[in-house]
Amino acid sequence: MTRTLSIWRWQLIFTGSMIAITVAIAAFKPASFGNPLVVAGLGMILATTIVTLAVPWQKLPRSAVAAVPFLDALAIGFTTNAPDSRLGFLWVFPITWLATFFTLPWVFGGIAFVALCLALFADHSGTQADIVLRILSVVFTLSFLGTTVRLGAHRSRASRRLLKRQSEQAARAAERAEMQQMRVIQIIDALDIALVVVAEDQRIVRMNGAYRTLYGRDRYGAVLPSASVEYDDRRGSPVPPERTTLVRAAAGERLQSERVWLFDSGGSWHALDVSTHAMAGDADQLTLVIIDDITALIDADVERRALTAMVSHELRNPLTAIIGHADLLLERDDLPERVIGQVGVIVNAAERMQRLVTGALDDPRGGEAEHQRVDLREIVEASAASYAPMAAAAGLDIGIQGATELVILGDAFRLRQVIDNVLSNAVKYTPATGSITVALVAGEAAEVVVVDTGMGIAEAELGRLFEPFFRTDSAIRASIPGTGLGMGIARDIVAMHGGTIDVHSVEGDGTRVTLRFPIPPTPAGADSSVGPSEGVL
């Protein structure tokens, strides 16, 4: 099909030129149409064009195409019979055609054919020398033109072939590189060690599947609704946002096997071993963060210590009895010398074993943390600071108002989990034009009220809000990610603290979540005030 289009294009260009010349002849020298050879030439060009458009060139050999420029050359030869018409310059078209698509023998064959047409049909006015000179001028001019075009076409084809080969080689190299990259990514994703590359602007450049699972991120790096929180110790204090692992790595801080505790969205603790390595980037300074989850090793070590402590405890009593009774025996005066030596051996062995037992590890601490005095204001501010980047990305601002201090008895890290779950929902379901406000109220009970102007919850769905894995229809339609576990976990934790959680919502008009906790009695001699509560919603 490509060859056919090329033949049509060349012939139509030539025919268009002839039509324009015919119009000019009719306007300025109509007498030329009285020459039968001129009329025959014009008619032959028209007939050749029609045949060219009708012939199925893809079914014919390539050499058959040469018939078209030869017929055009013959038609031009007919038109040169008109005196002073100067139509011979049109031989440029067929000669250029031959030089573009055929070899030099075809080109010179075409020039010889032009010379024959010139000798047979051209106007022979003038002397014999003038006629020969005109023929030679045309032959030399067309020879130079044909040779130049042929050499240029040859170079052009060679360049196209070279570029095509280079393009194919580049495509194969790119395909191999892409395949190699995919294999490397698959290998990295299969690792149990979490890997993440962070830029100096705190942007995640690349991460593997272990990191996405551990920190609750999707494949693009966005934080999922129930984000994991880093702590300085197991059941310790949350790490401030400006001191999290990624922020420190982005700032260029070098970490080497640093211990970080992570409390994930599923309510599990992870002991992490964190190290960083500088990487060379195209423009940004990149840092590779290597995070090894050593929770299983820590748990195994705790179990080993517990087992050692249990065995030690169980061995102390019988060893004490052995040593005590052996000492009583040594106090007797009626023991033979040989028996005294044997009892001494028993005492020495028992004392040595007792020293080994005494040097064993003590019982590890465990169990639930005891409730202590906790300031809910500090917890709310820490949680709001953690969600501030996510809120800012969504065009939201989290406002905190009310009591400057709100103390209750509780487990700080569990209460932080409650506030995180509620604020996470507020950020997720509030559009960019909305607002989120957290108010702390000191009254008969300590209240934390979170109000948003988001999409709200239908009245029929409010009763199922605390069911495991339940999600509203509007959240599913909007493709907002989530598990449906957060509110149920929050209710259980609040109940553990003797409090209540109430949710009031109007679909399309936002949601109000109220957390109530009992206020502990004020210690004797302490100031009974807990801070101002003005400005409460």
pLDDT at 461: 83
Torsion, CA 102, CA 104, CA 109, CA 111, rounded to 10: 100
pLDDT at 390: 80
pLDDT at 344: 78
pLDDT at 355: 64
512, containing H or E segment: strand 511-518
Q: Is 162 helix (H, G, I), strand (E, B) or coil?
A: helix
Buried b (16+ CB within 10 A) or exposed e, 394-411: bebebeebbbeebbbbbb
> In sequence order, what DSSP letters do the residues of 432-497 get, joined into one string?
TT--EEEEEEESSEEEEEEEE-SS---HHHHTTTTSTT---HHHHHTT----S-HHHHHHHHHHHT
pLDDT at 362: 40
Q: Is 528 helix (H, G, I), strand (E, B) or coil?
A: coil
What is the number of alpha carbons within 13 Å of residue 197 lying toward its C-beta?
Answer: 11
Count of positions (residues) in the chain: 537
61, containing H or E segment: none
Q: What would you report as the CA-atom Rg of the chain, rounded to the nearest whole angstrom?
A: 47
pLDDT at 26: 82
Q: Is 524 helix (H, G, I), strand (E, B) or coil?
A: coil
Which tokens is 405 given?
């201090």
Of 21, 13, 132, 113, the C-alpha closest to 73 is: 113
84 burial (CB, 10 Å; 0-12 / 13-18 / 19+) is exposed
Which tokens is 37 given?
């050879």
The series of mean pLDDT values per 10 residues for the chain, 537 residues long, is 78 86 83 82 89 86 86 86 73 86 87 86 74 82 86 84 88 87 80 87 85 78 64 85 87 89 85 88 79 87 73 72 83 83 76 64 45 92 82 87 92 86 88 89 92 88 81 74 77 92 89 93 55 38
Output the 3-class SS for 351-380.
HHHHHHHHCCCCCCCCCCCCCEEEEHHHHH
pLDDT at 535: 35
Of 440, 438, 473, 437, the C-alpha closest to 455 is: 473
pLDDT at 450: 95
Mode of pairing for the β-strands spanning 407-410 and 372-375: antiparallel
- Edge to edge, the sheet with strand 445-452 lists 398-402, 436-442, 445-452, 511-518, 500-505
**Contacts for 128-132 with beta carbons within 8 Å, 24 or more apart?**
none
Of 196, 193, 219, 192, the C-alpha closest to 206 is: 196
- Non-local (6+) Cβ contacts of 406 within 8 A are 375, 376, 377, 440, 442, 446, 448, 530, 531
178, containing H or E segment: helix 128-189
Sign of CA dihedral 217, 223, 228, 229: positive
| Inter-CA distances, 497 with 1, 41, 237, 501, Å | 82, 107, 19, 11
Rounded Cα distance, 168 and 135, in Å = 49
448 φ, ψ to 5°?
Answer: -120, 115
Of 269, 274, 314, 310, the C-alpha closest to 292 is: 274
What's the predicted TM-score (pTM) here? 0.41
326, containing H or E segment: helix 295-330
pLDDT at 352: 59
Rounded Cα distance, 182 and 166, in Å = 24
pLDDT at 84: 63
pLDDT at 135: 81
